[in-house]
Amino acid sequence: MFKRFARGKEAWLVRTSSERLAQDAAQLRDAAFIVGFVSAAVDMDRVQRTLATLAPQAELALSLTAGELCSLSGEPLYLPAGGDTIVLQGWSKVLVEAVHVVRVPLYCEDLRAGQPLIDMEERVRRIRQSLDRMKLPFVLDHRDTVAITLVDGLSNSENFLMRAIYESARFPLVFIGGSSGGPLDFSHTLLGDRSGTFDSHALIAFVKIRKPYRYSIFKTQNFKSTGTSFIAGECRPELRTLHSVIDGKSGRLVDFISALCRHFDCDEKHLEEQLKRYTFAIRINGELFVRSILKFDFSKRQAHFACDISCGDVLELVESQHFSARTAEDFSRHHQGKGKLIAGLLNDCILRRLNNADELGRVDAFEGLPVGGFSTFGELLGVNVNQTLSMLLIYRPAPGFSDDYVDLFPIRYASFLTYFKEAEIKRLQMMNTMKSQLINSLEDYRRFTETVMADFPRLQSSMGTFTTMIEDVTGLVTQFSSDMGESSRTTSDLGARIGELNDSALQARTLLTTIGAIAQQTNLLALNAAVEAARAGEQGRGFAVVAAEVRSLAGRTQESLDQISKVIASVQGSVESVNARLEAMTQMVSAFSRQGLQLQTTIDASRSQAAHSSSDLARMLTSTAKIHERMQEDARHLEEIIRLSQYAEGQHA
């Protein structure tokens, strides 16, 4: 299918296939510049060779797509993805005064492999060196020259390229375009120019529009801010991953996934479902530039974005609005009063196609207009952006033509340049803020240390007093032990004496028994003597015998009594000895009682002093624990600062 727009052969819009390419592309042989968007199912090399042959004077800018867009009468703007489709735009010399196409190496082979080997600064430096060597054949003027830019869609290098461009200060132009597409498994992508196809580069077509034609820039996205934002912390711009955000109150790093779950009050299993109506955006000069999440890696606690994320970026949470209606409203307002549209290049994020599949057929804002383009792996309009439709429109201008984007471009250029500078400044400010917080923490630590050091003399004095008291107690306890030993020995002696007394008592009992027997016998003898005396009357012989016997018994009794006296004396001696021992024991017990009281008093004093010492020690331990906890917190904070420094510098352990 072929269709030519506008008089004077200014521009052509062609939708064709690999089978009809040679026939349909022949109509573009007089074009000065051809932009082509090739389905990933089509042989890109064959398309490049065919166009280079059929249009030998035309500069080429070709890209694989993730889907094509083409506004031909009666057909939907969004063509089915994955088919045998090629969309071409040809601009003639009537429309284009000059074109210069260049390749810019992105030094991204390591990024395409997912293994960054050089840091961000070195990557930008190398790209800038390539730009500095570039020579252009005409003077650049943003009012009539635009830089159509196609970037390797798997390079993750769009913003590295743009930063290098702004730092070079050689290209004060509008850079508009997109990242080359391809299969949605992200297995490959390609770009092409007159010399062939390639990857790992950017293709920039510097196009100078011939007067009186004017170009215009249109941008639309169906999102509005929710008022919630997150400050990017640990992130890797090369891999487009974000690990943590910075808590606005504490200034500490917070796991990004956990922060989102808290915001949406959901668990991780439902987080992606909660985010279906939302995405993120940064602001540049008050304007939103979308940054979309592609996926979460919950095991590594990180989010993968479709766009560069830098430390310190303020990511606003934005909510989607009606897709087709917002596109129509924005374009109608932009297109009004500008004149006759000659050609339009559309750069539309693949996420717009995927996330709004049910509304694609209702997008009719460009019905009947000569516009075509592609679904990209990311758009580029001054900076990298997602989920946005950006358009380069060329008009035969109406009287009083104006375009805010182009007319005020110096301000926008300054904003983009400032964005990259501010990103560096934000990183430094963030680091300074965290360092200041650490310094404040260290100051608190110093005050804690002074408090502890002030307590040490009191502790030392208390411990000295406590030690002296313990020594006194030890002496008393030693004396007490000695006295107890002496008391034990005294008690043993007392036991022996009591044993002797018992033996003496037994002997006395035996003697008393003997005396009793003698007394009994004496009584009997006395009785017999009395009887005999009665019988004898005057006869005294028997009495004399009895009297003799009585005397004998009396002698024996006296002997027994003497023995008893000795025994009793012995017993008395033993008793006196016992009494003396008991008195000594009594005195000893009294002394022990007094020493016990002294010991108790000393122990009480020691206990009181120990309580004070324990209190001092408790305060010391509490202060020390606080210091230890604070030091651990400061150590973690310092680790965060070091990690952020590494992320900010693009260096990773």
Domain assignment present for 146? yes
- Checking if the pLDDT of 607 tops 80, the result is no
pLDDT at position 173 over 90: yes
User: How far is Cα 308 from Cα 288, in angstroms, rounded to an integer?
Assistant: 15
Residues 274 and 375 in one domain: no
Cα(396)–Cα(206) distance, integer angstroms: 20
CA dist 306 and 279 (Å) reads 11
Burial of 490 (0-12, 13-18, 19+ CB in 10 A): middle
Higher local confidence (pLDDT), 466 or 418: 418
Question: Do residues 304 and 240 lie in contact, with contact meaning Cβ atoms separated by under 8 Å?
Answer: yes
In a domain, 420, yes or no: no
Does residue 15 surpass a pLDDT of 60?
Answer: yes
- Structural tokens at position 219: 């941008």
Distance, CA of 584 to CA of 307 (rounded, Å): 102
Evaluate whether residue 547 is within a structural domain: yes
Of 261, 291, 316, the last residue of a domain is 316
pLDDT at 652 exceeding the cut of 50: no
Of the candidates 518, 505, 465, 478, the residue with the CA atom closest to the CA atom of residue 599 = 478
Based on the fold, state whether residues 130 and 217 are members of the same structural domain. yes
Higher pLDDT, 452 or 636: 636
CATH code of the domain covering residue 453: 1.10.287
Distant-in-sequence, close-in-space partners of 360: CB < 8 Å, separation ≥ 6: 76, 77, 78, 353
Note whether 222 and 310 are within 8 A (CB).
no
Which pLDDT value is given to residue 645? 61
Q: In this model, does residue 459 exceed pLDDT 70?
A: no
pLDDT over threshold 60, residue 197: yes
Q: Lowest-confidence range among 109-113, 230-234, 387-391, 628-632?
A: 628-632
Q: What are residue 130's phi and psi, to 5 degrees?
A: -65, -40
CA distance 68 to 78: 6
Residue-level pLDDT at 286: 93
Q: From 495, 502, 491, select the one nearest 571 (Cα to Cα).
A: 502
Comparing 388 with 529, the larger pLDDT belongs to 388
Is residue 154 within 8 Å of 350, Cβ to Cβ? Answer: no
What integer pLDDT is reported at residue 425 of this predicted model?
Answer: 76
The pLDDT confidence band at residue 4, using thresholds 50, 70 and 90, is very low
**Among 316, 343, 365, which residue terminates a domain?**
316
Name the pairing type of β-strands 174-179 and 145-151: parallel
Each residue's pLDDT tens digit, 318-344: 999 999 999 999 999 999 999 999 999
Question: What pLDDT shows up at residue 209?
Answer: 98
Q: Tell me the two tokens of residue 516.
A: 């009793």
Burial bucket for residue 188 (CB in 10 Å: 0-12, 13-18, 19+)? middle
Flag whether pLDDT at 8 surpasses 70. Answer: no
Residue 553's nearest CA partner among 578, 580, 523, 594 is 523
**Residue 616 lies inside a defined structural domain of this protein:** yes
| Residue pLDDT, tens place only, 304-320 | 999 988 888 999 999 99
* Domain tally, the chain: 3
412 part of a folded domain: no
Q: Tell me the mean pLDDT in the region 64-78.
A: 90
Instruction: Looking at the structure, tell me whether residues 185 and 159 fall in a common domain.
Output: yes
The yes-or-no verdict on residue 396 having pLDDT over 90 is yes
DSSP letter (8 states) at residue 66:
S
- Considering only CA atoms, which of 87, 86, 38, 31 is closest in space to residue 59? 31
* 214 plus 228 within the same structural domain: no
Phi–psi pair at 294, nearest 5 degrees: -85, -45
Average predicted confidence (pLDDT) for the chain: 84
Q: Which domain holds residue 245?
A: 224-316
Residues 216 and 252 in one domain: no
φ/ψ (deg, to 5) at 76: -65, 150
pLDDT of residue 153: 96
Based on the domain organization, do 377 and 259 belong to the same domain? no
Higher pLDDT pick, 495 / 419? 419
CA gap 166, 416 in Å, rounded: 8
Contact 68, 116 (CB under 8 A): no
In this structure, are 454 and 472 located in the same domain?
yes
pLDDT range class, residue 389, cuts 50, 70, 90: very high
C-alpha distance across the termini of the chain, in Å: 55
Q: How far is CA 32 from CA 95, 178, 341, in A?
A: 9, 21, 19
* Structural contact between residues 430 and 246, judged by C-beta atoms closer than 8 angstroms: yes
Closest C-alpha among 126, 204, 196, 139 to residue 167: 126
DSSP 121-150: HHHHHHHHHHHHT---SS---TTTEEEEEE
63 and 8, same structural domain?
A: yes
Q: Residue 29: inside a domain, yes or no?
A: yes
- Return the structure tokens found at 407: 């007319």
Q: Which residue has the tokens 């033996």?
A: 503
| pLDDT higher than threshold 50 for residue 566 | yes
pLDDT given for residue 340 in this prediction: 95
Q: Model pTM?
A: 0.72
Of 297, 316, 335, the position where a domain reaches its end is 316
Decide if 47 contacts 193 (C-beta within 8 A).
no
Same domain, 434 and 582: yes
Give the whole-angstrom CA distance, residue 218 versus residue 475.
99
Q: Is residue 415 part of a domain?
A: no
Using DSSP bridges, classify how beta strands 379-381 and 174-179 pair: parallel, antiparallel or unpaired.
antiparallel
* 63 occurs within a structural domain: yes
More confident residue, 415 or 442: 415
Q: How many residues does the chain have?
A: 653
pLDDT above 50 (res 653): no
Query: Three-state DSSP class for 402?
Result: coil
Q: Around 252, how many Cα atoms within 13 Å sit in the side-chain half-sphere? A: 9
Q: Are residues 403 and 328 in the same domain?
A: yes
| 218 token code pair | 């249109």
Same domain for 65 and 204? yes
Shared domain check, 343 and 297: no
